[in-house]
Structure 1
């Protein structure tokens, strides 16, 4: 497999710079709409008397497309170009949200959330491949860190939007409009140049997995832990004596940690061995989550701990994307980015049930045990890659 730099290492063409700004900004808006949709749909359905189990199934409908759509993304990127494909996906998601606002009921939302998930799966896979292809090697970590911070900011602003606009269907109309704006932003990018055009058929995804398992699997473990924490951490905090409002606000504080830490992680990743750094962050995440019970129920101490620990954990997403960009290019980069998107969706589906089961076995500390076990299972992947890799950082295959 060959992998050549897409532009000189010391410069970035203006068209690439414009495309990077458009891609990162538009994905910030996309994540804002997702930050609105997930809590709002649960609230609306619960208000209609829908059971929690059925609400969970409705949410799963949005995650299901990752298994069907992901294999098609690399070929679609090569055929249409990432910018044009993103515009199609954004408008698809905007239409789904508009129809959800017009038909706010459980039965209509199953196919519409599936359609929304189709758009989201294409967006995350294509945007990460595009950003990685545009980023110069020596600034890849910094750029990916900014992308991660923009995505986290958008997602964190979703609940704040609901606090301002209320929890009727109005925020769904707003979210649809934001996606139309994101499509306009993406349209300002360089759509004539397709960095993935003319590529030979890429390697099968399992072959890509053999090349960089630590980078391609990190999203599964990170998403599993994040989904577990988002679902159960407020409940866990309340069981240890924290008030409800304070417990819920810890999620916002954790999101702020992700916003601030990811760019810092990216800048460090440009200077060190990314696998070594990834190993360190996994160890710090395990230690940090294991220590959380000792900070609770004190709000200030827990808030500081959550800010730092969740920031470290989100740095793993940044590092995974950096290593994918360092290791692959062209069609393989598109395939690897699509694979990491699939791993995210799979991890998100597994995290909450696994942690809920352990909480039943060991109430309430099963949550902390679940998250620590998730990262312990992942730890050998970056550790082995570091020990087998270069002294500085992973290099592209030549």
Structure 2
């Protein structure tokens, strides 16, 4: 429960649907920003003659900024509260976005991507923890799936920004900045502030992190794998596609299918996890999703086959972050949830940093298919690891 006082806590609960709707809108727009920036800037750099390794490393900078934010997110949230932390993140991205087309330089974009990563991380951390803490356990899978599905909507829309380049280099960035401005006004107007409820404990923060990890490590791995897949696909697949013979239009058409699959299956998978168990659903989704990624190189340039594979694999893997976080919340005491949320964000950003760099290096070494071999192998290993993980009671 969130509160600044007992009375304020009740007012938050009584209009929680309005707040939830604003959080969903904020996450959709944050998803659009990440879904658009990664492929649009990757295509720019590829056409500028930048190596695929440097292209991937430049994309990873966004997640380095996000990673840095997770290190201080819990402390900042305690000081600023949910609304101020989210508003700060939104404003930082809003100010940064229009600067990208001003000076197309790798060094300049390095700094800008770092700032966008910090801002996006602030929005994600405050929003997802708010949803996690106010949702009862019996609806946790459903609500977090709705949250994740909303991010998937935005992330699926993002690559369409490639089409806006026909209107000029400024068009996608200015349109996205306008969307962020709308969200900023909604947050200022309707969203109340609040901080995580203080729980009586003398346990130091470091110990809460260690215990959260030792009790729920398997539930935190999905965040890493989801971040790896998301960043690698949006940063490396445009390079992969151009080198195997796809046009930029083909790439813009194919990438959203990963998010479309997540939109279709994420809520049903969340509801099934409430009924049959999250560990079981994570293992099934990981095994099948990994197998599907291994089939992508076999499809070569068959648009229909790749679109179908992306939709199915994206549908199965698209729920990984939300299901993993819900699974961790099932196993941990409530006072450990902020720490678990930090760890999940830490894993997501680590995967997002490693994904583009490793994928870009594989492509540069002449093995374009390695992008999907590594993805498929990681998910299948995760599924098999589930057989050795034993849950501990709270």
Task: State the TM-score, normalizing by the size of structure 1.
Answer: 0.83
Question: CA offset at residue 258 of structure 1?
Answer: 1.6
Partner of residue 308 from structure 2, selected from 301, 304, 323: 304
Question: CA offset at residue 330 of structure 1?
Answer: 5.1
Q: Structure 1 residues 14 and 323 mapped into 2: Cα distance closer, same or farther (>3 Å)?
A: same
Partner of residue 389 from structure 1, selected from 382, 388, 391: 391
Aligned 8 A contact 1:199 1:330 in 2:
no
Question: CA offset at residue 213 of structure 1?
Answer: 0.5
Structure 1 partner of 2:9: none
Structure 1 partner of 2:261: 257
Structure 1 partner of 2:331: 327
Structure 1 partner of 2:280: 276
Aligned 8 A contact 1:64 1:114 in 2:
yes
Distance 2:139 2:354 in 1: 34
Question: CA offset at residue 50 of structure 1?
Answer: 6.0
Q: Structure 1 residues 353 and 55 mapped into 2: Cα distance closer, same or farther (>3 Å)?
A: closer
Q: Structure 1 residues 246 and 64 mapped into 2: Cα distance closer, same or farther (>3 Å)?
A: closer
Aligned 8 A contact 1:78 1:198 in 2:
no
Aligned 8 A contact 1:133 1:329 in 2:
no
Distance 1:307 1:325 in 2: 28
Structure 1 partner of 2:110: 110
Q: Structure 1 residues 294 and 104 mapped into 2: Cα distance closer, same or farther (>3 Å)?
A: closer
| CA-to-aligned-CA distance 1:205-244 (integer Å, 9 cap, x gap) | 2331111001212111222233333344466567778777
Q: Structure 1 residues 161 and 337 mapped into 2: Cα distance closer, same or farther (>3 Å)?
A: same
Q: Structure 1 residues 213 and 233 mapped into 2: Cα distance closer, same or farther (>3 Å)?
A: same
Distance 2:200 2:102 in 1: 42
Aligned 8 A contact 2:39 2:235 in 1:
no
Q: Structure 1 residues 193 and 148 mapped into 2: Cα distance closer, same or farther (>3 Å)?
A: same
Structure 2 partner of 1:22: 22
Aligned 8 A contact 1:31 1:155 in 2:
yes
Distance 2:361 2:107 in 1: 29
Distance 1:43 1:113 in 2: 15
Structure 2 partner of 1:212: 216
1:102-251 paired onto structure 2 within 5 Å: 102=102, 105-164=105-164, 166-197=167-198, 200=201, 201-202=204-205, 203-233=207-237, 245-246=249-250, 249-251=253-255
Aligned 8 A contact 2:163 2:249 in 1:
no
Unaligned stretches of 5+ residues in structure 2: 1-5, 7-11
Question: CA offset at residue 87 of structure 1?
Answer: 1.0
Question: CA offset at residue 59 of structure 1?
Answer: 2.9
Question: CA offset at residue 320 of structure 1?
Answer: 0.8
Give SS of 2:161's match: helix
Of 83-92 and 353-362, deviating more is 353-362
Q: Structure 1 residues 335 and 184 mapped into 2: Cα distance closer, same or farther (>3 Å)?
A: farther
Task: State the TM-score, normalizing by the size of structure 2.
Answer: 0.83
Structure 2 partner of 1:343: 347
Structure 1 partner of 2:73: 73
Question: CA offset at residue 44 of structure 1?
Answer: 5.0
| CA-to-aligned-CA distance 1:92-123 (integer Å, 9 cap, x gap) | 22122244455554444333322222112222
Aligned 8 A contact 2:66 2:114 in 1:
no
Distance 2:236 2:47 in 1: 21
Structure 2 partner of 1:59: 59
Of 304-313 and 219-228, deviating more is 219-228
Of 336-345 and 349-358, deviating more is 349-358
Aligned 8 A contact 1:217 1:343 in 2:
yes
Distance 1:333 1:120 in 2: 20
Question: CA offset at residue 124 of structure 1?
Answer: 1.9
Aligned 8 A contact 1:225 1:374 in 2:
no
Structure 2 partner of 1:317: 321
Give SS of 2:169's match: coil
Give SS of 1:383's match: coil
Question: CA offset at residue 256 of structure 1?
Answer: 1.0
Distance 2:273 2:305 in 1: 28
Question: CA offset at residue 199 of structure 1?
Answer: 6.5
Give SS of 2:195's match: coil
Distance 2:257 2:303 in 1: 11
Considering only aligned residues, what root-mean-square deviation do their CA atoms show, in Å? 3.2
| CA-to-aligned-CA distance 1:168-200 (integer Å, 9 cap, x gap) | 123222222222222223335552443345675
| CA-to-aligned-CA distance 1:297-351 (integer Å, 9 cap, x gap) | 5433332232112211112223112213323465522221122112112112222
Distance 1:102 1:365 in 2: 35
